[in-house]
């Protein structure tokens, strides 16, 4: 049984308690982070904590815990749960009050929950075989740049993909692909450019996305951050997704049609390796 963290205490998972009046529960008034763990250490935790601060700021949510304190809790969970490989989930909600659309009074403490989850990140089947995606309309709200727990549409989209025999969905807004349901989307064009959507309120500024973009330029690979269409994706030679729990996964088909030759792309596989080398080098 896991030990989880709830509001300052480490408790067995079956004893952890959250109020039914918690605003995360009633309003999805909460933000979260997911940080990968390899060899019992955290991948790019500083970048995750920086994004956490940004999400908190955008929602005027106060968290009276320093980055050092948050890092220490991450590490304590890894130790107590003897986690070698997987992730640490962190969630901060605007605390507990009788159901009321207005924010609770100033000084209401946020609810902070953290737990570990074991998962094979390095040797995963989709990383080797690739995944299939379908496209679906992006029906999410207008601030997808904030990492909120409002994930219902992502769940519905993943279920729809599954019902159609696919692994995941890419979301399309105004004719252009914003991102995957829980990952950032990339294609490789015929002339060898790697294309991913430029940042805006329409998509999450993925940590893996930003690291991959930096690694591309360090390896003299061409990156284009811009809007791109489904038609362009259909013509791509390769495609892939990035996230903290997948790193880089090849995408081998879109709406039932193969991308390129329908196998994980050479550049994609190289990028996964480059990313893995990075992840192992920044463990903290
Ligand atoms: N999802 N876009 C969306 C909508 C996401 O939910 C995620 C992450 C990403 C990738 O971001 P990052 O590289 O920082 O993990 C992009 C996490 C992993 C999740 O919800 O489990």
Answer whether 3-118 and 125-281 agree in fold: no
The pLDDT value given to residue 170:
98
User: For residue 282, with 0-12 CB atoms within 10 Å meaning exposed, 13-18 middle and 19 or more buried, which class applies?
Assistant: middle
The pLDDT value given to residue 279:
98
User: Considering only CA atoms, which residue is closest to atom 19 of ligand 1?
Assistant: 182
Enter the pTM of the model.
0.98
The pLDDT value given to residue 196:
98
Q: Point out the residues that are catalytic.
A: 147
Residue range 3-118, CATH number: 3.30.470.10
Profile the chain (284 residues) by mean pLDDT over runs of 10 residues.
98 98 98 98 98 98 98 98 98 97 96 98 97 98 98 98 98 98 98 98 98 97 98 98 98 98 98 98 98
**248 C-beta closer than 6 A to ligand 1:** no
The pLDDT value given to residue 172:
98
**91 C-beta closer than 6 A to ligand 1:** no
Q: Which sequence spans correspond to the domains of the chain?
A: 3-118, 125-281
User: Considering only CA atoms, which residue is closest to atom 5 of ligand 1?
Assistant: 182
The pLDDT value given to residue 3:
98
Return the best residue to mutate from 34, 36, 146 for the ligand 1 pocket (most ligand atoms within 8 A of CB). Answer: 34
The pLDDT value given to residue 85:
98
DSSP 212-277: HHHHHHHTT--EEES--BHHHHHT-SEEEEEETTTEEEEEEEETTEESTTSS--HHHHHHHHHHHH
Residue range 125-281, CATH number: 3.20.10.10
Distance (angstroms) between ligand 1 centre and the Cα of 133 equals: 16
* Ligand 1 atom at minimal distance to the Cα of residue 48: 14
User: Considering only CA atoms, which residue is closest to atom 20 of ligand 1?
Assistant: 182
């Amino acid at each position: 049984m896991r030990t989880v963290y709830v509001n300052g205490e480490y408790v067995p998972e079956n004893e952890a308690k959250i109020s039914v009046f918690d605003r995360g529960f009633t309003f999805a008034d909460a933000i979260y982070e997911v940080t990968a763990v390899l060899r019992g250490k955290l991948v790019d935790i500083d970048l995750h904590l920086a994004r956490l601060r940004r999400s908190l700021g955008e929602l005027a949510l106060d968290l009276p815990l320093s980055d050092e304190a948050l890092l220490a809790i991450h590490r304590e969970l890894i130790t107590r749960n003897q986690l070698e490989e997987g992730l640490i989930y962190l969630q901060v909600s605007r605390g507990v009050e009788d159901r009321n659309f207005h924010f609770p009074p100033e000084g209401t403490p946020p609810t902070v929950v953290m737990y570990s989850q074991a998962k094979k990140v390095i040797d995963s089947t989709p990383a080797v075989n690739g995944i299939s995606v379908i496209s679906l309309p992006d029906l999410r709200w207008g601030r997808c740049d904030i990492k909120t727990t409002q994930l219902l549409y992502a769940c519905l989209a993943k279920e729809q993909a599954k019902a159609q025999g696919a692994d995941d969905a890419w979301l399309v807004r105004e004719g252009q692909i914003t991102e995957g349901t829980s990952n950032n989307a990339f294609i490789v064009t015929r002339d060898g450019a790697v294309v991913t959507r430029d940042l805006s309120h329409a998509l999450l500024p993925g940590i893996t996305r930003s690291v991959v973009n930096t690694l591309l330029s360090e390896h003299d690979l061409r990156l284009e951050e811009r809007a791109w269409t489904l038609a362009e994706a259909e013509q791509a030679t390769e495609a892939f997704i990035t996230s903290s729990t997948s790193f880089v996964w090849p995408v081998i088909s879109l709406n039932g049609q193969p991308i390129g030759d329908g196998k994980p792309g050479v550049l994609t596989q190289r990028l996964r390796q480059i990313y893995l080398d990075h992840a192992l080098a920044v463990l903290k």
